Amino acid sequence: MTGKFIAPLDKKVAVVFSRFGPYHLARMNGAHEPLAKAGGELVAIAVAGSDRVYQWEAVDKPADYSTEVLFPDRSYEAISERALKERLHTVLNELNPIAVALPGWWFPESKIGLQWCRENRRAAILMSESAQGDHRRLWPREFAKQWLVRQFHAALVGGSRHAEYARSLGMPRACIFTGYDAVDNDYFVRESERVRANAAAERAAAQLPERYILSSSRFVAKKNLDGLLRGYALYVEQNPAAPALVLCGDGPLRASLVELINILHLNARVTLPGFIQYPELPRYYGLADAFIIASTIEQWGLVANEAAASGLPLLVSNRCGSAPELVIEGENGYTFNPTPPQAIAEAFAKLPADKEALAQFGKRSREIVWTHSPQIFGHNLLEASRIALARLGREDLGPPGGIA
């Protein structure tokens, strides 16, 4: 993909998402400074102002870098591919970036953005958290995916599983960088400690149990919340003094989960506070004993990052992409097979009962999660941009591995 030198451009790096939520802007905040130090300029682009999956409230517009929402008054799912192509191409033509980071390979905005990069000889960076074991892989689709992935010049992925999958699809190992999956660690450190300093008042305000294990997710099948409840019921049978369980979130399976809680006689032990907006999340993390995510399919699981930054021990399904990155067995938590409820019960039982031991696990979680911070995302986005540009015969942001 190398070629002759291209005339100088504005050193803009555009990053495209389906919409802006707290996770996305945390990463952009981490990317702004390293790009600026390298003489570049970050521009964040969102396709839509909302979507039907996440109930996030609108986030504040950042002051340090430019943002563009292509369809601010429309839901992501309501935008046709034709309208998206016209609008995204128009905005990219106006911005004229030297590199474009795109989410995945199959989303419309990714394919459209990749087409624009190819037509205009700009560097295309794949942002991905897909791994080989996420789904059953069929060779015709994998063959098409290989062709797509080879059109990108570099990749920014979640962790080791995602890097290996990107390599298997044809991305050179030297062009793959990790650190894509990050949250605002500083925010969760600061706010969870504030909550702990005012624990009695915070607990009363949310009517939370004195001791509980927390989970937070959409109420959809792949999150395996029915399996989590069945495993928790077995754990309670074996440990009558077990902490309560708080399940934050909402979704189409809520009614069936309420019914299952009744069947398992867990009404007095399980709390469903609903979808919790970002400013309120630290209260639920800060007062918990530990955190569990029991998904059967989970590309990463950013809630594990939030819990780790909040200083919690982690129980993470081994199907989660974050498991090998954020859990060190016996140091800050445990991984487990999420399919048999007994395995989930055994994972619960591995947690230390002593609060001081739990606190030591939580301290270790915080140390580990710093390897997945917005600052790491920003640094590796810069390095991915550099190597992508080098494959086009450019060094606008300095050579790969250069000092910003």
Instruction: Kindly report, residue by residue over 362-397, the tens digit of the pLDDT.
Output: 999 999 999 999 999 999 999 999 999 999 998 888
| Position 5 confidence tier, pLDDT thresholds 50, 70, 90 | very low
Q: What is the DSSP letter of 314?
A: E
Strand bridging mode 244-248 / 270-274: parallel
Note the pLDDT of residue 137.
67
> Sign of the C-alpha dihedral, residues 209, 213, 217, 223?
negative
Helical axes 185-197 vs 199-206, angle rounded to 10°: 100
Note the pLDDT of residue 138.
65
335 backbone dihedrals φ, ψ, rounded to 5°: -100, 165
- For residue 402, pLDDT over 60 is answered with no
> The tokens of 326 are what?
């954020």
What gap in Å lies between CA 104 and CA 110, rounded to an integer? 6
Note the pLDDT of residue 4.
36
What gap in Å lies between CA 309 and CA 305, rounded to an integer? 6
pTM over 0.85: yes
Structural domains in the chain, sorted by start? 12-182+373-390 (3.40.50.2000), 185-369 (3.40.50.2000)
Nearest alpha-carbon partner for 112 in 81, 141, 149: 81
Note the pLDDT of residue 375.
96
Note the pLDDT of residue 395.
86
Contact 227, 344 (CB under 8 A): yes
Contact 305, 280 (CB under 8 A): no
250 backbone dihedrals φ, ψ, rounded to 5°: -160, 170
Contact 316, 240 (CB under 8 A): no
Percent pLDDT > 90 in the chain is: 84
- For residue 36, pLDDT over 80 is answered with yes
| Position 53 confidence tier, pLDDT thresholds 50, 70, 90 | confident
3-state SS, residue 103: strand
- For residue 2, pLDDT over 80 is answered with no
| Position 141 confidence tier, pLDDT thresholds 50, 70, 90 | confident
Q: What is the mean pLDDT of residues 298-324?
A: 97
Contact 397, 389 (CB under 8 A): yes
Rounded to the nearest integer, the mean pLDDT of the chain is 93
Instruction: Kindly report, residue by residue over 237-266, the tens digit of the pLDDT.
Output: 999 999 999 999 999 999 999 999 999 999
What gap in Å lies between CA 287 and CA 339, rounded to an integer? 28
Instruction: Kindly report, residue by residue over 83-132, the tens digit of the pLDDT.
Output: 999 999 999 999 999 999 999 888 999 999 999 999 999 999 999 998 87
Q: What is the mean pLDDT of residues 202-208?
A: 96
What gap in Å lies between CA 258 and CA 247, rounded to an integer? 11
